[in-house]
Amino acid sequence: MASHRRPKPPHRAYTSALTATAAAAVALSAQTASADPAPDPNKKGVQAQIDRLYEEATQATEKYNGAKEEADTLQKSVSDLQDTAARKQEDLNTLREGVGAMANAQYRSGGIDPSVQLMLSSDPDGFLDQASLMDRLSDRQLSVLRTFESRQRALHQQRAQASARLGDLQDVRAEMGREKKKIQGKLAEARRLLNTLSAEERAKAAAEEARADRDSARTDLGNEASASGRTASAFSAAQSRVGMPYVWGASGPGSFDCSGLTSWAFRQAGVSIPRTSQAQARVGTRVNSLSALKPGDLVIMRTDLSHVGFYAGNGQILHAPKPGAKVRYESMARSGMPFMWGVRL
């Protein structure tokens, strides 16, 4: 397989997009010192609190992503069931029309056949169970009645399944709402804490992000090859997104969260993988050793498996790290997140 060197950075139009949190941090860093709040002896811990809120927001984002993926699957199932029920209803309506014509003809000739009465009955099962009726039906009539009965039962079943799926969908959408509220609350709290930092502290935080971006731009990835062609293709797609902003719940092409980047990149390679980091951790072949990783392997981070990126070579990870940051290369040793295992697809 071809080796992977760092590609050219994307167009500046992409990199100009920032998350609301990042924009807030930049704007705040431009304020004068005279606008700063009074000194606070606990200020030294504020940045740590912000980082923790970002981590909790990304964990909630993965839960939101999982719920959204489930909701999309349920929505498709509901639509399929409803379409099938509609087709079955059309078949039943056609059969009823034929029965109605038969009933009119029989009424004019002096009576309605029991088979016709059955098909016009609101309780065909109970009507059909009458022993006296069974004795009076011909084989052909009985066949028609059984067909009608079967189609009606199938229609009822289809509608019941669609109704149950709709209930599940409502529950999952409620879960999505809860996770979204949680994410927004944590990001709002992070912005509030950013407001309490001094101009000097804000400038320092902005400088650290700028340094991380500069380090990413000059990262040495080495010349190691990927394990497969499709992995190489997915990794190349991810490399083309360096500089794109982190946005929770985003899956490209102009912004990403962590698992949004990896799932998007594999889609570009024609490979479908789950949307969340926890689900991605359970596909493919597990690679337990850091030394055995190859460029393009997925890297699962944190004990709750809430972060994922691409192994980029030479001890580097390519990922969408957190709110306020951009897709970038970063030393795994300096990422601050424990490595759990790799995944090879």
| pTM for the whole structure | 0.67
Instruction: Indicate if 187 and 126 belong to the same structural domain.
Output: yes
Contact assessment for residue 44 and residue 281, using Cβ atoms and an 8 Å cutoff:
no
CA 343/CA 345 separation, integer angstroms? 7
Task: Tell me, yes or no, whether 17 lies in a domain.
Answer: no
pLDDT band, residue 86 (cuts 50/70/90): confident
Task: Tell me, yes or no, whether 3 lies in a domain.
Answer: no
- Among 197, 214, 246, the domain boundary falls at 197
Task: Tell me, yes or no, whether 154 lies in a domain.
Answer: yes
Domain that holds residue 69: 41-197
Count the residues in the chain: 345
Residues assigned a catalytic role = 258, 307, 319
CA 137/CA 131 separation, integer angstroms? 10
The predicted structure's pLDDT at residue 245: 96
pLDDT digit string (tens) for 163-192?
A: 888 898 899 999 999 999 999 999 999 999
Instruction: Indicate if 185 and 310 belong to the same structural domain.
Output: no
Percent of the chain with pLDDT over 90: 52
The predicted structure's pLDDT at residue 104: 54
Lowest mean pLDDT across 151-160, 181-190, 263-272: 151-160
CA 107/CA 114 separation, integer angstroms? 12
Instruction: Indicate if 51 and 193 belong to the same structural domain.
Output: yes
At position 103, the amino acid (one-letter code) is A
Instruction: Indicate if 104 and 175 belong to the same structural domain.
Output: yes
Whether the per-residue pLDDT at 14 is higher than 50: the answer is no
Task: Tell me, yes or no, whether 119 lies in a domain.
Answer: yes
CA 319/CA 235 separation, integer angstroms? 11
Instruction: Indicate if 230 and 325 belong to the same structural domain.
Output: yes
Q: Number of structural domains, the chain?
A: 2
What is the rounded average pLDDT of the residues 336-342? 94
CA 89/CA 95 separation, integer angstroms? 10
Task: Tell me, yes or no, whether 242 lies in a domain.
Answer: yes
Whether the per-residue pLDDT at 3 is higher than 60: the answer is no
pLDDT digit string (tens) for 197-247?
A: 999 988 998 899 999 999 999 999 999 999 999 999 999 999 999 999 999
Whether the per-residue pLDDT at 78 is higher than 80: the answer is yes
93 contacts: CB under 8 Å, gap ≥ 6: none
The mean pLDDT value of the chain amounts to: 80
Whether the per-residue pLDDT at 123 is higher than 80: the answer is no
